Amino acid sequence: MKMKRDHGNALLSLIVGMTIMGTSVGASENLSKWLRPEAVPAPKDNQITPERVELGTFLYFDTRLSRDGTVSCATCHNEANGWSDGVPKAIGIEGREGPRNSPTVLNSAYQIRQFWDGRAKTLEEQALGPIEADVEMDIDLDELLKRLNNIEGYKVLFENAYPGEGITRDTLAKAIATFERTVVSTEAPFDRYIKGDQNAIDDNAKQGFALFTGKAHCTDCHDGFNFTDGSFHNLGLGDADEGRYGLKKRAAWFHAFKTPTLRDVTKSGPYFHDGSIKTLAEATAVCGNGGRFPNSEKVSPLIVDRGLNQEELELLVDFLKTLEGEPLNIKEPTQFPQ
Ligand code: HEC
Ligand code: HEC
């Protein structure tokens, strides 16, 4: 099985490598790294089943998971806003503004760590945080569990999904995480191009891709199928947020934030952990031309002024647009368990 797959990828990179050599992505470039992993990763004790997806979907969209019944996960992570919310900083219960921008949850299933500073390892670990956060859903977990235990429909759904385990912190987190594992990017023009369809993206985007992997060094950080190295970098944004340094006082984490995915990035603005950047052109210029304040303290050594001119920045944006896939096949429930 494994051998067969590797063989297929090798052949593919050879073919694609040969055909796009003209745009300076050489045959040596390993194109198979851009291909979708075979399966969405899920922990052994929380494999994806239809019952868990069904339950998780209800929970994700259900505003009864917040203290006053006004906010759900989807308030800040909805498909219309690229699984984010379209505002610079998250707005939770009673209009309270949080300290950071809501990242997309698209492809969070593939991430090694969750949150801008990586403070949660798994989606299960992440899921309960926003429920209790006072600027998000602001409800005591024990109170929420009581609330859910009083809803007959949820009792049945939890029993179907996690037989004999009941409605607990654990099963609540697992069900929400399972839903998130269905929020996975669909095939984009870029994917068809990588698989060999030369007409899937236009010449500008091809040149943009060559810049992305070449002169602009974007792949130093935005690499592989999900366009992230899973690591944390200081882009010299110059704001007060310490990022990962707030968790671990290592010099490399000084004002460092997680490299976000670029899949469907056309939809998920405004950008960056502080929501300070409105357009992809601006984001590209900050990342590619030395950060916002190149002389600020401990900017990542990978953030270098690549001397990208206006035309090159536009070509990079043309490429980023080819990462936009079709809408996901996820329906927001209109009726919830009673
Ligand atoms: C009020 C808006 C808000 C609500 C409601 C909310 N989130 Fe978030 N979410 C955020 C913000 C802001 C962050 C980033 C926080 C940080 O990094 O410190 C985040 C981060 C995440 C991440 C990490 C993504 C990444 O790339 O690191 C996931 C996954 C996530 N939220 C899922 C959920 C789930 C599931 C719920 C419901 C239980 C939820 N969120 C409710 C605003 C919200
Ligand atoms: C040193 C690693 C690194 C390099 C190189 C890099 N980026 Fe980034 N990129 C990041 C990080 C980290 C963030 C988030 C920074 C933050 O919020 O503080 C980011 C954010 C972005 C965003 C905004 C995404 C969002 O959801 O907020 C875009 C778009 C982007 N980068 C594109 C590019 C392009 C195009 C290049 C090449 C010109 C590039 N990046 C080079 C690390 C990098």
Q: What tokens appear for 149 in the block?
A: 């235990």
pLDDT at 298: 86
Ligand 1 atom 3 nearest Cα: 76
Tell which atom from ligand 1 comes closest to the C-alpha of 65.
Answer: 38
For 167-196, write each residue's pLDDT tens digit: 999 999 999 999 999 999 999 999 999 999
Identity (one letter) of the amino acid at 86? G
Ligand nearest to the CA of 229: 2
Contact residues for 278 (Cβ-Cβ < 8 A; gap 6+): 269, 270, 271
pLDDT at 23: 47
Pocket probe for ligand 1: among 77, 106, 116, 128, the residue whose CB has the most ligand atoms within 8 Å is 77
CA of 287 to the centre of ligand 2 (A): 5
Identity (one letter) of the amino acid at 18? M
Ligand 2 pocket (Cβ < 6 Å) reads 216-218, 220-222, 233, 235, 237, 257, 259-260, 262, 265, 268, 271-273, 280, 283-284, 287-288, 300, 302-303, 316
| CA distance linking residue 235 with residue 89, whole number of Å | 19
Given a cut of 70, whether residue 219 has pLDDT beyond it is: yes
N-terminal to C-terminal alpha carbon distance within the chain: 45
| CA distance linking residue 78 with residue 337, whole number of Å | 20
Q: What tokens appear for 31 in the block?
A: 């194109």
- φ and ψ at 26, to 5 degrees? -75, 170
pLDDT at 1: 33
Residue 128 CB neighbours (<10 A): 17
pLDDT at 29: 63
CA of 186 to the centre of ligand 1 (A): 21
Given a cut of 70, whether residue 215 has pLDDT beyond it is: yes
CA of 117 to the centre of ligand 1 (A): 12
For 82-136, write each residue's pLDDT tens digit: 999 999 999 999 999 999 999 999 999 999 999 999 999 999 999 999 999 999 9
Q: What is the mean pLDDT of residues 331-335?
A: 95
Instruction: Please give the share of the chain, as a percent, with pLDDT higher than 90.
Output: 86
| CA distance linking residue 234 with residue 291, whole number of Å | 9
Going by C-alpha positions, the residue among 95, 93, 98, 97 that lies closest to residue 68 is 93
Radius of gyration of the chain (CA): 21
For 6-63, write each residue's pLDDT tens digit: 333 444 444 444 344 444 444 446 889 999 999 999 999 999 999 999 999 999 999 9
- φ and ψ at 103, to 5 degrees? -75, 160
| CA distance linking residue 57 with residue 337, whole number of Å | 11
| CA distance linking residue 323 with residue 338, whole number of Å | 39
Q: If you count them, how many residues does the chain have?
A: 338
The reply to whether ligand 1 has any atom less than 6 angstroms from the CB of 177 is: no
User: How far lies 30's CA from each of 14, 17, 33, 271, in Å?
Assistant: 9, 8, 6, 29
Q: What is the mean pLDDT of residues 323-328?
A: 96
pLDDT-based confidence at residue 273 (cuts at 50, 70, 90) = very high
pLDDT at 292: 82
CA of 30 to the centre of ligand 2 (A): 21
CA of 297 to the centre of ligand 2 (A): 18
